[in-house]
């Protein structure tokens, strides 16, 4: 609907990088953290409708 939800999630995941402000996750500034390190923090985006592992729950995926 154009509210920016996908852009917000992509920015939290590191691509594109935030141009201003900070992204704090669990007390850690992840704003400039490389995407592979963000993934190690268990932060990722799974686009809707992409049944990554269809027999697993959201939490398991």
Task: Enumerate the domain spans of the chain.
Answer: 1-56
Cis peptide upstream of residue 52 (ω within 30 degrees of 0): no
* Global pTM exceeds 0.75: no
Contact yes or no for 23/12 (Cβ under 8 A): yes
Q: SS3 string of 36-51?
A: HHHHHCCCCCCCCCCC
Q: What is the pLDDT of residues 7-61, one digit of tens each?
A: 888 888 888 888 889 989 999 999 989 989 988 888 888 777 666 788 888 788 7
Q: Which two tokens stand for residue 35?
A: 């995407």
Q: How far apart are CA 44 and CA 61, in angstroms?
A: 10
Contact yes or no for 22/28 (Cβ under 8 A): no
């Amino acid at each position: 609907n154009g509210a920016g939800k996908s852009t917000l999630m992509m920015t939290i995941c590191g691509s594109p990088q935030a141009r201003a402000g900070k992204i704090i996750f669990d007390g850690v500034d992840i704003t400039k953290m490389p995407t592979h390190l963000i993934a190690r923090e268990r932060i990722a985006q799974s686009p809707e409708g992409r049944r990554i592992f269809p027999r697993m729950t959201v939490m398991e995926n």
